[in-house]
Amino acid sequence: MHPFALSRAVDASMAIAGHADDPQLSFIAGGTDLLGLIKDRAALPERLLDINGLRGMAQIEALPDGGLRIGALARMSDVAADVEVRRRFPVIAEGLLFAASGQLRNMASIGGNIMQRTRCSYFRDGDDLPCNKRRPGTGCAALAGINRTHAIFGWSESCVATHPSDVAVAFAAMDANVIVRSRTGERSIPFTQFHRLPGDSPDRDNVLERGDLIVAVEVPARVEGRSSYYLKVRDRQSYEFALVSVAAGVATSARTITSVRLAMGGVAHKPWRLTAAESALRGVSLDDANVLRAAIATAFVEARPLPDNAFKVELAQRAVLRALETAGARA
């Protein structure tokens, strides 16, 4: 195990300044991803700053306008069990409940969850196979290797990994915002712009800079929130990451779709919004499966499967249809 020094933060400004000034320091919340990365030598911080003592960052607030503010230190299990989260945005509660295990969800925080790194096995491999995310400039072992679980959208020659978070897919579908505090103040980053595509620099998963502390995720009130659903397809029914997943939310008038929100997990380096399908589905009846299928297909024109994962293109479209129909049944 790589040795590190551990200290505890009591003041957010000091934590932010410490992180900004010290490139060898990492924040640690639940530690359920970071400690695994350290064991796999995919992260080698010299100093860990425990942020769990920072005040005001663990609350789950139901906002008067119908939205939510979820503190970055709120635990996955607490958010999943919150009555207002379940009532207003079942897709968020389900995205959390289908993730990891009970014990992990009790430890793991919302901020840490959206910051978790890819499960690409070459990235996590202690033998240091070529991996541009782990060691920039070494290549991508997955591109010509085993890439069954990898991306079908938005990948580059440098990296074909997917983002593993489930709840991030639900947040992306609901147009949440990540609230980040730094030395210069607080800013709000639209969730769909928080994670990056790999491009030439897959070592960077998101747009955060040093000295950035996630303080909350805010979910605006959404008419599609109450009739929403999270569908996760995986190799085994529990304790497994998604092959593909879908967050769907829909608003209807007499079974006709008036607006819909769709995002997918397991298909790209970031949660992937199906914007073409969202437009094509407006005005379609939830009872017309053939038209629904055709509208969903518009978002898959740009799919670029890898040698081992062409099955995801069909699987993903079937999953979207099922998620949409299930969300529609809640409308």
Ligand X SMILES: Cc1cc2nc3c(=O)[nH]c(=O)nc-3n(C[C@H](O)[C@H](O)[C@H](O)COP(=O)(O)OP(=O)(O)OC[C@H]3O[C@@H](n4cnc5c(N)ncnc54)[C@H](O)[C@@H]3O)c2cc1C
Contacting residues toward ligand X, per CB under 6 A: 26-34, 36, 51, 72, 99-100, 104, 107-109, 111-113, 115-116, 164-166, 213-214, 241
From the list ligand X, ligand SF4, none, pick the one residue 113 interacts with, judged by a Cβ distance below 5 to 8 Å according to partner type: ligand X
For ligand SF4, the closer of residues 77 and 118 by Cβ is 118
Looking at this protein, which amino acid is placed at residue 323?
A: A
Q: Which of 19, 6, 194, 18 is closest to 116 using CA atoms?
A: 194
Candidates 59-67, 115-123, 173-181, 304-312 — which segment interacts with ligand SF4 by CB under 6 A? Answer: 115-123
Sorted by sequence, the CB contacts under 8 Å of residue 277 that are 6+ apart come out as: 260, 262, 295, 296, 297, 298, 299, 320
**Out of ligand X, ligand SF4, none, which partner does residue 141 contact, by CB within 5 to 8 A per kind?**
ligand SF4
Note whether 268 binds ligand SF4 by CB under 6 A: no
Supply the minimum distance, in Å, between the C-beta of residue 37 and ligand SF4: 12
C-beta of 305 vs 328, nearer to ligand SF4: 305
**Which residues, in sequence order, are CB contacts of 241 under 8 Å at separation 6+?**
119, 149, 164, 234, 266
Question: Which of 105, 133, 226, 273 contacts ligand SF4 by CB under 6 A?
Answer: 133
Report the residue from 142, 172, 243, 274 that binds ligand SF4 according to the rule CB under 6 A.
142
CA nearest neighbour of 187 among 178, 196, 195: 178
Instruction: Pick what 278 binds: ligand SF4, ligand X, none; C-beta below 5 to 8 Å, kind-dependent.
Output: none
Q: How far is the CB of 134 from ligand X (least distance, A)?
A: 14
Q: Which residue, 145 or 220, has its beta carbon nearer to ligand SF4?
A: 145
Using CB atoms, what's the residue nearest to ligand X?
112
141 touches ligand SF4 by CB under 6 A: yes
- Compute the least distance from the CB of residue 271 to ligand SF4, in Å: 17
**Residue 152 is a binding residue for ligand SF4 (CB under 6 A):** no
Tokens coding 49: 């700053």
Asked whether position 179 contacts ligand SF4 by CB under 6 A, the answer is: no
Total residues at interface with ligand SF4 (CB under 6 A) = 15
Instruction: Compute CA distances 152 → 4, 148, 305, whole Å.
Output: 37, 10, 4
203 or 325: whose CB is closer to ligand SF4? 203
Question: Rounded to the nearest whole angstrom, what is the least distance from the CB of residue 319 to ligand SF4 in the complex?
Answer: 22
Please name the residues in contact with 231: beta carbons below 8 A apart, sequence gap of 6 or more. Answer: 245, 246, 248, 319, 322, 323, 326
Task: Kindly state the smallest distance separating residue 232's Cβ from ligand SF4, in Å.
Answer: 21
**In angstroms, what is the minimal distance from the CB of 327 to ligand X?**
20
227 binds, options ligand SF4, ligand X, none, Cβ within 5 to 8 A by partner type: none
Choose the contact partner of 31 out of ligand SF4, ligand X, none; CB within 5 to 8 A by kind: ligand X
For 70, the token pair is 């979820």
User: Which residues in this chain contact ligand SF4 in the complex, by CB under 6 A?
Assistant: 118, 120, 122-123, 131-134, 140-142, 159-161, 202
